[in-house]
Chain A
């Protein structure tokens, strides 16, 4: 089965940039979506189709995808960005939705 690997945690100071990786075999050939999830809440889509943002999501959230790694970048990090972040793809070889292992972002 297709596996997506994320670092368990990322720490960043306010105002700095957080980069969260999502590794998968030839992930650059897939559409990657990113979700933010705060404790006790549902996931919220923050980036879709590798680079697009849903309406209402700040421009500080951006995505990229190439080769074996997709990346979610959060610029000018704020305290409210502290949350778990999950990447997701559709694996059409087995008709499955696959999520990454999840990354906890801590704002110092």
Chain B
């Protein structure tokens, strides 16, 4: 059974760096073709893709946020970590992680974690 779970702070201050962890089970990020991605959804808004890391440690970023994002993986711990720097109140939203077995569709998602940015 594939599961993913996001964890991290519910509240961060403006200008701080947000660190989120996606802990997964039921698959390995060393399997060829396997990838994990992060997304954000602001209230009432569309899903926004943030970053992806693949089995070979290749990384892709949303170009509009690239300077603020870093994605990394720990295959021994089955975790993928996303950092987003210089947080602003406009960055408020629910952050999801999801896996794609082929770099195209996202077939399993975590439940999401809500992040609020406020002083």
**In the bound complex, CA of A44 to CA of B96 (Å):** 12
Q: Is the CB of B103 within 8 A of A90?
A: yes
CB contact under 8 A between A43 and B96, given known A33-B104, A54-B107: yes
A98 at the interface (CB under 8 A from B): yes
Q: Is the CB of A48 within 8 A of B105?
A: yes
Task: Give the contact stretch, choosing among B7-15, B22-30, B42-50, B74-82.
Answer: B42-50
Q: Chain A interface residue count: which class?
A: 20 to 34
B62 at the interface (CB under 8 A from A): yes
Q: Give the shortest distance, in Å, between B34 (CB) and chain A (any CB).
A: 16
**In the bound complex, CA of A49 to CA of B99 (Å):** 16
CB contact under 8 A between A99 and B49, given known A41-B111, A42-B112, A43-B96: yes
Q: Which residues of B contact A48 (CB under 8 A)?
A: 104-105, 107
CB contact under 8 A between A97 and B109, given known A33-B104, A90-B104: no
Out of A49, A90, A96, A99, name the residue touching B47 (CB < 8 Å).
A99
Q: Which residue of A lies closest to B107 (CB)?
A: A45
A-B contact pairs, 8 of them (CB 8 A): A33-B105, A42-B96, A42-B112, A43-B98, A43-B106, A45-B106, A45-B107, A88-B106
